[in-house]
């Protein structure tokens, strides 16, 4: 039996896929540039207000998706992961990367040698 999805559902799946692929790709590029072994990765999702400045429709809860995908990312990259919203009050962001997060382009900070 075939499953049919609406255009909006397909667009959401595409956004989720692009988000996860982008995070993995960006992390791997950063790893290649590092001289020391990465020990922990922090991912920062964009504030909701930033969606108003883009033409993209806000179909994906980036924070929720990345939090659910943490174990899969861990298996893929072999590194501990923490996910924060840019607006979190108890955010760990020693280099102020969170403010650079954009819709569907989370900011990433990678620690070494812990």
Confidence at residue 114, expressed as pLDDT on a 0 to 100 scale: 57
CATH number of 7-112: 3.30.2320.20
**Cα 27–Cα 20–Cα 78 angle in degrees, nearest 5:** 45
Q: What is the mean pLDDT of the chain?
A: 92
Tens-digit pLDDT profile for residues 2-33 = 778 899 899 999 999 999 999 999 999 999 99
Model confidence at 80: pLDDT above 70: yes
Domain ranges of the chain: 7-112
Q: Any idea what DSSP says for residue 5?
A: -
Q: CA-CA distance, 65 to 69, in Å (whole number)?
A: 6
Q: Which residue has the tokens 């990367």?
A: 97
64 within 8 A of 114, measured Cβ to Cβ:
no
């Amino acid at each position: 039996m075939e499953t049919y999805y609406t255009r909006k559902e397909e667009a959401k799946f595409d956004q989720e896929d692009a988000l996860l692929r982008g995070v993995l790709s960006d992390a791997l590029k950063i790893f290649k540039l590092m001289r020391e072994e990465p020990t922990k990765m922090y991912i920062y999702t964009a504030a909701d207000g930033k969606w108003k400045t883009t033409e993209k429709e806000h179909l994906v809860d980036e924070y929720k998706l990345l939090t659910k995908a943490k174990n899969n990312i861990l298996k893929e990259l072999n590194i501990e992961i923490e996910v924060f919203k840019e607006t979190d009050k108890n955010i760990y962001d020693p280099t102020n990367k969170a403010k650079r997060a954009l819709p569907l382009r989370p900011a990433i900070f990678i620690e070494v040698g812990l």
